[in-house]
Copies of this chain bind each other. A is one copy, B any other.
Amino acid sequence: MEKTDLKLRAFVAPTPTVIASAYDENGRTDACTLAFVMMSSHFPPCVTIAINATAKRKTLKSILQTGAFVVGYPSFEHAKEADYLGVETGYNADKLANIGFTTSKAKMVNAPIINELKLSLECKVVHTVTVGSHTQITGEIKNIQADPSIIDENGKVSMQKLDPMVYDEEAFVYHRLGEPVLDAFKPGATLKKALMQS
């Protein structure tokens, strides 16, 4: 079928929804909700986030000042609060206090963990670059903290229990993650073997 050219835009879907948090220069916690996030290295484990640099986001300033941040994964249980943290600015309000969220200092980096989130990656900034409207920040993951309630029998995080928010900026909605329907690497490996024997 003939393809259609779409209006140029960042294609933000489907993406995980996370909350980045950091201490500001007074030791207060900044936090903002993001959909620009990816894992970026296995060894050492790294995560990269991108934050709007032109909008002078308070959380961005704090991350660059302290060299540390936490990536937290909200569950749908906290969807309203997560959405609010992406809408309000820390220059106007004590965002976390407003929604009843509390924080603890991370174990391995100088950044705050939001206690109510069930999964948090403690990150040390190892690279930053500004490209276009956003600053990309790569953090080496120094520790992962999880609620025991979301851990399965293999010590891994159960997606069903985490119930993460998947963002879709085409329709401006959050999706629930659907059912697991296919094992990774098995169908590909089977196909590879069949092709090599044919």
Contact = CB atoms under 8 A, between A and B. Distances in A.
A10 B41 contact: yes
Contacts of A186: 83
Given A13-B157, A129-B127, A88 B192 contact: yes
A182 B85 CA distance: 15
Interface string A178-196: 1111111111110110010
Interface in A72-94: 76, 79-88, 93
A64 interface: no
Contact of A8 (B45, B85, B187): B45
Interface residues of A, number: 107
Contacts of A80: 187-188, 191
B180 A9 contact: no
Given A132-B46, A157-B6, A175 B179 contact: yes
A3 interface: yes
Interface string A153-195: 0011111000011111111111111111111111111011001
A42 to B, nearest CB: 5
A158 B9 CA distance: 15
Given A36-B38, A50-B40, A143-B8, A173 B183 contact: yes
A61 interface: no
Given A38-B15, A182-B173, A188-B80, A141 B10 contact: yes
Interface of A: 1-16, 35-48, 50, 52, 54, 76, 79-88, 93, 98-99, 107, 113, 119-121, 126-127, 129, 131-134, 136, 138, 140-149, 151-152, 155-159, 164-189, 191-192, 195
